[in-house]
Amino acid sequence: MRAISPADIVVELEDAIAACPPERCLLILEQTTSLLVASQDRLKERQVSLLDDILLHLMERIAPDALVPLSVSLADLKIGPKKMLRRLAAHEDPAVAAPVLRNSPLLTQDDLEAIASARGEQHLLAISGRRKIEKALADILAKRGGKKVCLAIARNQGAQLSDAAFAILAARAEHDGELTKELVLRPHVPDMVVRKLLAAASPEAAASVQSAATSIETGGSARTGGRPCAADYADARPQIVALNRIGKLNDSAVNRFAIRGETANLLTALSVLSGAPIDIIETVVADKDCEGLVMACRASRLNWQTTLAILSNRGGSRLSFDERERAQQLFETLYLSTSQWAVRWGEMAAGAGAASKDGKVARSEGGR
């Protein structure tokens, strides 16, 4: 008896599908999809690949609107029918394509670039919502996309933007206040691009940027109280960098962080303003001796009232009168250049305590 090969079985199944009513094809496809979703932890790629061609043939017998729920079900699969997913992603109906384009980890960079180069605005918008977008793909989206696509890319922190993409987006932002705001507030935008955007912004766009910055400044989302974790700093940093970029990370903002106990915002602000790593800032804030923290505040160009608010709201025992007097004297005698040098060379935490014990405060020539 001749052994039946997998290819022979597939041919027979394809013939059976060709004679099958569309309603029956849809039922089979739905049941198979449900099985794939329910069996993710037990499936092998080879097993799924055997089904791929069959699923494609079933798909061809079904009306596009019936494919939308299937696309949603398959979009998050880590092991799935890749040919079918590519077909869904490239479907001319964006309602069918969007769930897979936005979420599927099984689409390759080449798949996405090909679709972005051939399809329309709604397909591009779906791709713009992906968790990670490589530079080459972002370039295509920026070149071919309309206003909504450009805004989506500017807002997407997972989109890696090349100099070319920044140039395209900045050129479009000259006539788009909303896009200007998103780019100015986006972390890691080159300073030259930000300056150009702000210089060319209309009064309405500039007001929108200032309003957004004020909202960030007064409504910090970082958790209050306790020592922040890595996730807290990750949440705080984009907002703090955005405030700093437009000149709003000032005494008023930092004072507010200190008084409200927004620890992640406060420590991130000190790190950004002084140039010290966050772990150094954590060390000097926790140190009972205030010299390192005073030096960090001085290096951050904060005034004495803000520095006092930080010292008074960092937890632990309350500042005594003598400690406050000593901290103020230290603040007023420290040169800005000395503080910045110590911070940036990583000597603030290690050297501050020793200098204090010796009764010496490092000073250098230069303006305060």
Per residue in 261-278, pLDDT (tens digit) is 889 999 999 999 998 889
Average pLDDT over residues 302-322: 84
Question: pTM (2 decimals)?
Answer: 0.60
Q: Same domain, yes or no, for 6 and 96?
A: yes
Residue 226 lies in a domain: no
Contact 177, 202 (CB under 8 A): yes
Mark whether 125 and 210 lie in a shared domain.
yes
Rounded Cα–Cα distance for residues 150 and 276 (Å) = 34
Is the domain of 13 the same as that of 102?
A: yes
* 8 Å CB contact between 43 and 79: yes
The residues with which 159 forms a beta bridge, in sequence order, are: 133
Neighbours of 144 (CB within 10 A): 16
**Confidence at residue 186, expressed as pLDDT on a 0 to 100 scale:** 81
Does one domain contain both 143 and 95? no
Please determine, for residue 168, whether its predicted confidence score (pLDDT) is greater than 80.
yes
What is the distance between the alpha carbons of residues 80 and 344, in angstroms, rounded to a whole number?
50
Domain boundary pick from 88, 107, 126:
107
Which residue among 51, 74, 107 closes a domain? 107
- Please give the full DSSP string across 44-62, using - where no structure is assigned: -HHHHHHHHHHHHHHHHTS
| DSSP secondary structure letters along 169-201 | HHHHHTT-HHHHHHHHHSTT--HHHHHHHHHH-
Asked if residue 98 and residue 169 are part of one domain, the reply reads no
CA distance 355 to 338: 13
Residue 205 is encoded by which pair of tokens?
């766009």
Q: Report residue 209's pLDDT band, with 50, 70 and 90 as the boundaries.
A: low
**Model pLDDT, residue 300:** 92
pLDDT band at 16 (very low <50, low <70, confident <90, very high): low
Are 172 and 214 within one domain?
Answer: yes
Q: Check whether residue 79 and residue 123 sit in a common domain.
A: no
Range of lowest pLDDT (74-78, 269-273, 311-315, 348-352): 348-352
The predicted structure's pLDDT at residue 344? 65
Q: Are residues 211 and 156 in the same domain?
A: yes
The whole domain housing 190 covers 118-218
Residue 8 domain flag: yes
| pLDDT exceeds cutoff 50 at 358 | no
Please state the rounded mean pLDDT for residues 214-220. Answer: 55
Answer yes or no: is 266 within a domain.
no
Residue 350 has pLDDT above 60, yes or no: no
Task: Give dist(CA 173, CA 328) in Å, integer.
Answer: 46
Domain count, the chain: 2
Task: Verify that 97 and 37 share a domain, yes or no.
Answer: yes
Integer Rg of the chain from CA: 29
CB proximity list for 263: less than 8 A, separation 6 or greater: 222, 223, 224, 225, 226, 227, 228, 232
Where helices occur in 222-302 by DSSP H, the ranges are: 230-245, 251-260, 263-274, 278-286, 291-299
For residues 233 and 271, the answer to whether their CB atoms sit within 8 Å is: no
214 and 141 housed in the same domain: yes
d(CA 224, CA 106): 39
pLDDT at residue 11 in the model: 57
Looking at the structure, do residues 190 and 129 belong to the same domain, yes or no?
yes
Do 29 and 10 have their domain in common? yes
Could you say which of 57, 74, 107 is where a domain stops? Answer: 107
